[in-house]
Structure 1
Amino acid sequence: MKSVPRSRVASLMRLTQGACTCPAHMGGVISRHLPSCKSGSGKSMASQIQNEYAFEMASSNIRYGEGVTRQVSIITTFILKEVGMDARNMKAKKVIVYTDSNIAKLHPMKTVIQSLEDNNVPYTVYDKVRAEPSDKSFKDAIEFTRKNGCDLFIAVGGGSSIDTAKAANLYYNHPEADFLDFVNAPIGKGMPIEKTLTPLIAIPTTAGTGSETTGATIFDFKDLKVKTGIANRALKPILGIVDPLNIRTAPLQVQIASGLDVLFHSIESYTAIPYNMRGPAPKNPLERPAYQGSNPISDVWSTRALKMTIDSLPQIKIDPGNTKAQSQMILAATYAGIGFGNAGVHLCHGMSYPISGLNKSYIHPQYNTDHPIVPHGISVAITAPSVFKFTSSMDPVRHLEVAKAFGVDISNVKLSDAGEVLSDAIKKFLINLGLPDGISAFGYTHSDIPALVEGTLPQHRVTKLSPVQAGAEDLSRIFEGSMKLY
């Protein structure tokens, strides 16, 4: 298996052919990912630093199928629920079920509770999960867990519920840890997780985050007014139960926002810096990050999820009750989760965190919350037309492949036009879904751009995976270009 696709190699060669690799003499964007040409000893820095040479694939076990959260018993004729049997098989004695106040009233949660009761599994419910969790809401869940004890975590809901359960699990098993110990650097210490955590079963009720497959958990850091997170393979659920029936009740705007998260998980992971250009290699395999850069295996999952989303999400916009399209979207979310959970995402996600975190008053339609909210998928999508104009110069071939997936005829498109072509294709797709008209629709003005840039710069976990490294001036231009979408 070749570690880097031929198209990627060809485009890199075009960019670097005949050029000195010293940043002092390079005008091309590739210079932004290369070290200075000489060290004090006169040796090439590239010869002294071992680039990454491997990638790892990690994912939760996945159980997929319509009605998989329940099973009809031929013998007893009444419905038994599989998740209760899973808990019983694991000999669980102290289960905590994490959900939010809305999901707590709906069929998926009721199914899980009935299943636990039918299988005589003791449980406690934590139904205070916050949509778009914060450090405060995480700490509340952590305290609840420490008070009640737990030998099995079950999360029912969207990414917010699953991420909250992941955080509660982590700090329940590290009672001595300060909250910032595991938070991604440079905001936190980014310490590795060396303990085996308590089993977590994740049951998604939205087709978006793919959190049931990944070792990442995201939250708003209120003091800094920015989103950040924790990323480590140890956070992965032991099992993701993916049942299309569980997303039937989601409002249209929730389905669209969640689906856009899938879309850009796919595009960003496919266009991320190749894993063997992300260096240096770790001294210990335990230090290899969960987000490693694009790689041949993640590419397979990401491109498949991309095509499924482009086909299915517009169908849901026309008919929010289209069950076939919904089933395809929750499967695409899982595919994309496996892809980006190992390759990572980059600028759209990195820039989305301050867009959400600095929001003062905007509440997206059909989101029943008591606080301002720009849904994660919306905040990710809104900068995408500008982002991919910026990143296309590093690998125009791959950007054109994405444009082709949107239905663009790329047969006569010049490589130099790849960014413009993909940007237009994405913009058309977003407009057809009825997205807000740029970040100005959230109340942001040009005077807010410095704060948005400041909130993006610390997001090293994702921004460093951009195929073109973005500095403050680059980010400013991208935010400027995202003020209006139409």
Structure 2
Amino acid sequence: MVVERVSSTRGASTVSETIRTECFDETPTRVVSGEGALESSRACLAGMGIEKALIVCGENVSKLPEVQQFALSCSGCVGVEVFCGAAPDPTDANVIEGARVGREFGAEMVMAIGGGSSMDCAKAIAAEIGKPGWIASQDRPGQPTSIEHQVPPIVCVPTTAGTGSEVNPFSVITFTQTQRKLVLNHEKLFPRCAVLDPRMLRSAPKEVRVAAGLDALTHAVESYVSLRATPETRVRAAEAIRGVAKYLARVADDAEDMQAQAGLQRAAMIASLSFAKTRLGIVHAMALPLSALFGVPHGVANAMLLPHGMRFNVEADLQGFADIAAYLGAPIEEGKVPEAAMAAPEAVTALAAEVGAPARMSEVGVEADAIERMADDAMQSAHVQVNPRGVTREDVAAIYRAAM
């Protein structure tokens, strides 16, 4: 198979029907994309000089013919062990068990095949393989992630277009004893390689495709108005917003639309390049407790909270939200910045309704009497610090109530 290698500090590439490889300033991760990219990644594994690899995935993904065939095809060059215990919201227990399997097998590399949860789990498993007991020491809200040991190389193959975890150093893990869902962040968690094969997205059910796409949109929107945003990160975020607006409805309607799947997958990846530099904001801070306490999928939590978070923040960056409205295709009049800014959350609400996303927290089992606990937990997130508008615990509780 011919592989087109396109290296660019801006991520630019030529149009090609073959597989391409790209490099970006924002990440050390090499990105291989195109239909059939999964098969081509065997050469990537062989080039690492490893003999044994641990594949981390969820139970459903482990049954996919593409995954089973890939694992079988690797046997000629690399020994493979499959750990299919990555939960939809991975826990420290999943990490410990996966690392145990990897160590007993003698894994020299960890490969995630799955959605954001599997990729997050795989990153933490790799760090835990390098130092047993590491994950237990990271349940420290507001404290930086510490990794002083060597971590086996990580390769990510996303099966959803949402988190962009394949190109960032983040791993979201729920700690079972404290019921805290924390974001681990360390340069050693950057994947060595990301394999973006749109064919791997076809198996996800509609609700997963929708939640993932709205997660990517949340990343892009919050990054665009983050206090850490720069002209460069805003270029990335704008591209991602346009991509989600263009492709999400098509992907929701037809999982076999490979052009739309590839477009949405790229938008999710580009959004991740942006927020890896800027962090996010109040929406992500508030989404984490919904998943930790009620098991709400991360993308669903973001989708329900995003319009409310945008309405809270809009006064802090009228021009930024006016830009976002334009990228979403909202009908706006030139020169009317406040009106355009207010159109942004309404455009998100309309898109979410079009693709059938839940609109209220009560629809997914969130209980109002948990709002005070969730507000406390949300305020511990570092995302609050870069939110464009100053936020108090009372503000967070009010937004939760508005989203009920």
**2:293 corresponding residue in structure 1:** 358
Question: 136, 144, 158: which is aligned to 2:115?
Answer: 158
Matching of residue 310 in structure 1 with residue 250 in structure 2: no
**2:20 corresponding residue in structure 1:** none
C-alpha distance in structure 1 between counterparts of 2:135 and 2:264, whole Å: 38
Query: Match of 2:104, as an amino acid?
Result: K
User: What is the CA deviation profile of residues 343-375 of structure 1, one whole-angstrom value per residue up to 9, with x for unaligned ones?
Assistant: 22111111111111111xxxxxxxxxxxxx422
Matching of residue 67 in structure 1 with residue 36 in structure 2: yes
Structure 1 runs (4+) deviating above 4 angstroms are: 412-419
**1:480 corresponding residue in structure 2:** 401
Matching of residue 329 in structure 1 with residue 264 in structure 2: yes
Change (3 A) 1:382 1:107: same
C-alpha distance in structure 1 between counterparts of 2:363 and 2:44, whole Å: 45
Residue 176 (structure 1) shift? 6.1
Residue 194 (structure 1) shift? 4.0
Residue 146 (structure 1) shift? 3.0
Residue 67 (structure 1) shift? 0.9
**2:181 corresponding residue in structure 1:** 227
**2:137 corresponding residue in structure 1:** 180
**Is 2:333–2:340's contact at 8 Å kept on the other side of the alignment?**
no
**1:167 corresponding residue in structure 2:** 124
C-alpha distance in structure 2 between counterparts of 1:209 and 1:326, whole Å: 14
C-alpha distance in structure 1 between counterparts of 2:133 and 2:306, whole Å: 40
- Three-state SS of the structure 2 residue aligned to 1:382 is helix
Matching of residue 404 in structure 1 with residue 358 in structure 2: no
- Three-state SS of the structure 2 residue aligned to 1:95 is strand
Residue 197 (structure 1) shift? 2.2
**Is 1:218–1:229's contact at 8 Å kept on the other side of the alignment?**
yes
- Three-state SS of the structure 1 residue aligned to 2:112 is strand
C-alpha distance in structure 2 between counterparts of 1:178 and 1:374, whole Å: 23
Matching of residue 107 in structure 1 with residue 65 in structure 2: yes
**Is 1:355–1:379's contact at 8 Å kept on the other side of the alignment?**
yes
C-alpha distance in structure 2 between counterparts of 1:154 and 1:429, whole Å: 34
User: What is the CA deviation profile of residues 20-75 of structure 1, one whole-angstrom value per residue up to 9, with x for unaligned ones?
Assistant: xxxxxxxxxxxxxxxxxxxxxxxxxxxxxxxxxxxx833411011111222xxxxx
Residue 191 (structure 1) shift? 4.1
**Unaligned ranges ≥5, structure 2:** 1-24
Query: Match of 1:265, as an amino acid?
Result: H
Residue 184 (structure 1) shift? 5.7
User: What is the CA deviation profile of residues 83-135 of structure 1, one whole-angstrom value per residue up to 9, with x for unaligned ones?
Assistant: 32222222212211111111111033123213311x33112111111111112
**1:389 corresponding residue in structure 2:** 311
C-alpha distance in structure 2 between counterparts of 1:109 and 1:153, whole Å: 15
Query: Match of 2:209, as an amino acid?
Result: Q
Change (3 A) 1:437 1:272: same
Residue 413 (structure 1) shift? 6.7
- Three-state SS of the structure 2 residue aligned to 1:169 is helix
**1:422 corresponding residue in structure 2:** 344
**1:345 corresponding residue in structure 2:** 280
User: What is the CA deviation profile of residues 435-467 of structure 1, one whole-angstrom value per residue up to 9, with x for unaligned ones?
Assistant: 22311112334333212212211112x121111
C-alpha distance in structure 2 between counterparts of 1:98 and 1:425, whole Å: 37
Question: 152, 162, 169: which is aligned to 1:198?
Answer: 152
**1:32 corresponding residue in structure 2:** none
Change (3 A) 1:86 1:415: closer
Deviates more, 1:142-151 or 1:384-393: 142-151
**1:240 corresponding residue in structure 2:** 194
**1:299 corresponding residue in structure 2:** 234
C-alpha distance in structure 2 between counterparts of 1:342 and 1:255, whole Å: 25
Residue 428 (structure 1) shift? 1.3
Query: Match of 1:344, as an amino acid?
Result: R
Residue 143 (structure 1) shift? 2.5
- Three-state SS of the structure 1 residue aligned to 2:344 is helix
C-alpha distance in structure 1 between counterparts of 2:231 and 2:68, whole Å: 40
Residue 316 (structure 1) shift? 2.2
Query: Match of 1:384, as an amino acid?
Result: L
User: What is the CA deviation profile of residues 213-249 of structure 1, one whole-angstrom value per residue up to 9, with x for unaligned ones?
Assistant: 0000002223333321201122011000111111122
Residue 148 (structure 1) shift? 2.8
Larger Rg: 1
Query: Match of 1:358, as an amino acid?
Result: L
Residue 195 (structure 1) shift? 4.1
> After superposition, where does 1:23-62 map in structure 2 within 5 Å?
57-62=26-31
Change (3 A) 1:419 1:446: farther
**1:262 corresponding residue in structure 2:** 216
Matching of residue 468 in structure 1 with residue 369 in structure 2: no
- Three-state SS of the structure 2 residue aligned to 1:61 is strand
**2:92 corresponding residue in structure 1:** 135
C-alpha distance in structure 2 between counterparts of 1:123 and 1:446, whole Å: 46
TM-score, normalised to structure 2's length?
Answer: 0.88
Query: Match of 1:450, as an amino acid?
Result: E
- Three-state SS of the structure 1 residue aligned to 2:174 is strand
**Unaligned ranges ≥5, structure 1:** 1-55, 71-81, 274-292, 360-372
Query: Match of 2:164, as an amino acid?
Result: G
C-alpha distance in structure 2 between counterparts of 1:395 and 1:420, whole Å: 11
Change (3 A) 1:456 1:418: farther
**Is 2:92–2:135's contact at 8 Å kept on the other side of the alignment?**
no
C-alpha distance in structure 2 between counterparts of 1:402 and 1:178, whole Å: 38
C-alpha distance in structure 2 between counterparts of 1:338 and 1:348, whole Å: 18
Change (3 A) 1:85 1:58: closer
- Three-state SS of the structure 2 residue aligned to 1:154 is strand
Q: Percent identity?
A: 26
Question: 148, 151, 158: which is aligned to 2:105?
Answer: 148
**Is 1:156–1:204's contact at 8 Å kept on the other side of the alignment?**
yes
C-alpha distance in structure 2 between counterparts of 1:230 and 1:215, whole Å: 8
Query: Match of 1:376, as an amino acid?
Result: H
**Is 1:83–1:112's contact at 8 Å kept on the other side of the alignment?**
no
Residue 409 (structure 1) shift? 3.0
C-alpha distance in structure 1 between counterparts of 2:361 and 2:135, whole Å: 35
**2:9 corresponding residue in structure 1:** none
- Three-state SS of the structure 2 residue aligned to 1:479 is helix
Q: What is the alpha-carbon root mean square deviation over aligned residues? A: 2.0
- Three-state SS of the structure 1 residue aligned to 2:380 is coil
Residue 150 (structure 1) shift? 1.9
Matched length: 380
